């Protein structure tokens, strides 16, 4: 299991890493880490909503009755977090910028993500993560 406090710390750190990559003009990596940051923020929020101290992290843990929580889909995680109504009403524009992320983005050819898209993702990720944490 991944401790909720660690999830929060990792999310904040990955957002900083994403900013470093953006400033170094490594837009693909920045974009990917932003999405990962939001995934972690949502998993942190799920733990808080369900009063869990840990989030399942291994195949065995998910197979112990937590299959529905084994996803990288940000829309599904948002529903599970209990914050869907708030995020979609107060932060819809920012959510629209981040929700299309998926972990397969790491396999896209270098240069796929342009500066404008990476900047929007970074700005929106900061807003959404702050709302989740």
Q: Return the CATH number at 51.
A: 1.20.120
User: For residue 120, what are its two tokens?
Assistant: 């929007």
Boundaries of domain holding 49: 2-132
User: For residue 49, what are its two tokens?
Assistant: 């909503």
What pLDDT score was predicted for residue 70? 80
**What confidence tens digit (pLDDT) does each residue in 71-101 have?**
889 999 999 999 999 999 999 999 999 999 9
The pTM of this model reads: 0.92
What pLDDT score was predicted for residue 105? 84
CB 47 within 8 A of CB 77: no
Low-confidence ranges of the chain (pLDDT < 70): 61
Give me the sign of the Cα torsion angle 50, 68, 132, 14: positive
What pLDDT score was predicted for residue 62? 73
The number of folded domains in the chain is 1
What pLDDT score was predicted for residue 39? 96
């Amino acid at each position: 299991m991944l401790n909720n406090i660690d999830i929060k710390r990792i999310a904040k750190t990955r957002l900083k890493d994403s900013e470093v990559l953006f400033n170094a003009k490594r837009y693909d990596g920045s974009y990917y880490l932003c999405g990962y940051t939001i995934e972690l923020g949502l998993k942190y929020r799920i733990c808080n909503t369900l009063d869990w101290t840990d989030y399942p992290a291994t195949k065995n843990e998910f197979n112990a009755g937590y299959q529905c929580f084994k996803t990288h889909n940000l829309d599904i995680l948002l529903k599970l977090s209990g914050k869907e109504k708030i995020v979609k009403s107060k932060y819809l524009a920012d959510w629209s910028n981040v929700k299309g992320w998926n972990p397969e983005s790491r396999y896209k050819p270098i240069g796929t993500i342009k500066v404008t898209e990476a900047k929007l993702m970074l700005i929106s990720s900061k807003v959404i993560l702050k709302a989740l944490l």
